[in-house]
Amino acid sequence: MSVNSPTLYVQEFASTIEMLVQQKQSKLSSAVTVGGGHYGEQASPVDQIGLIEVSENASRFEPMPRTDASFDRRWVFPTNWDLNQLMDKNDLLRMMVDPKNVMAMSAVAAMNRRKDRTILDGLINANFTGKAGTTSTTLPSTQVVGVSTGGATSRLNVAKLRAAQEILLSNDVDTDSEELYCVIDAKAHSALLSEVQITSSDFNAGSDVPVLRDGRIARFLGFNFIHCERATEFNAADDLGGTSTPIMCFAKSGAYFGAWQDIKVDVSERKDVRALPWQLYIAATFGATRLEEKKVVKVWSRP
C-alpha cells in the first residue's frame, strides 16, 4: 500500500435535508372559533346583545315598562404576513439534494407559529368593539387570577386552575357544552406535574378522560391542555409587578380567528433576476380577537 493513498480518501455527504426542531403545526387554531372569507380593512364576526332580566307584574293596569337591551359589535383587524426565499440555480447545480421542498415546509411552519401568536395576542391584549371598532376593550381584572394564588409569586398550580374554573362558572359559562382550553408552556406543565392532584390516581378515579397521557397533562378540571411555547413570548408584568407568563384559559366560543387569505405558497422562477433563481414565497392575511371577555381568563404564572 502506497503511503500516498490518503490522497484518495473520500468524504460522504448527506443525501437528505431535515428541518431543525421547531413547532410545525398551529396548535391553537383548532381551539378557537375559525372564520374565513373576510374582506375589507376590518370585519365583524358577530353582533352581541347584553343580559336582560324579567320583572314581576304585581298590579293591574300599570303603564307598560320598557327594557332596553345593550348591543355591541366585535371586530377583527387583518395583518398581512409573508416570507420570501430565493434559491440560485447555480447553487442547485452544486448540491446533492434539492432543498426547495424543505424550504417551503419550513416557511409553512413559520406561518403556523404566527397564527398561534396572533391568537394569543387576541386573547391577551386589547380588542376593538363598538359600532365602528373604535372602542378599545381590555380583559378586566375580574378575569385575571393573581400570581400569588395558591402560593406567594407561584408558578401554575391547581389552586390557580380552580380559580380560573370558578371565574368561568360564576360567569354562567356552560361548561357542560362548551369546549374549554388551557394553553401552557413547558415550565407551567412541569410545575403542574409536581401537584399531587394531577399525578395521583386517587384524585382522578372514575374519570372517563385520563389526566395524564404519555406523561403529559391532557385534561383536568374540564380544561383541555395545549402545550405551546409561544405563550412565553407574551411574558409581562403581573399583578405584583414581576415578570410572569400569561396562561390563558378560555372557552372555544370565546375566541375567534379570522382569515382574509389562508396560507398561500408560490414556487416560481424569478425572470427579473440573474440566473433565474427559484423564488419560494408564502403569504397569509389574518387576525384574532376575543368574542367575550367573560369566557376568557388569564392566569399569571412565574417562570
Question: pLDDT-derived band of residue 1, with 50, 70 and 90 as boundaries?
Answer: low
Question: pLDDT-derived band of residue 2, with 50, 70 and 90 as boundaries?
Answer: confident
What gap in Å lies between CA 162 and CA 145, rounded to an integer? 10
* Residue 205: per-residue pLDDT: 65
- pLDDT greater than 90 at residue 144: yes
Q: What is the pLDDT of residues 196-240, one digit of tens each?
A: 999 887 777 666 667 888 999 999 999 999 999 999 999 999 999
Contact 147, 244 (CB under 8 A): yes
Contact 259, 237 (CB under 8 A): no
Least confident range of 56-70, 109-123, 126-140 = 56-70
What gap in Å lies between CA 109 and CA 18, rounded to an integer? 13
- pLDDT greater than 80 at residue 56: yes
Give this prediction's pTM.
Answer: 0.93
Residues near 12 by beta carbon (within 8 Å), at least 6 away in sequence: none
* Residue 203: per-residue pLDDT: 73
- pLDDT greater than 90 at residue 301: yes
* Residue 208: per-residue pLDDT: 62
Distance of CA 165 to the CA centre of its chain: 19
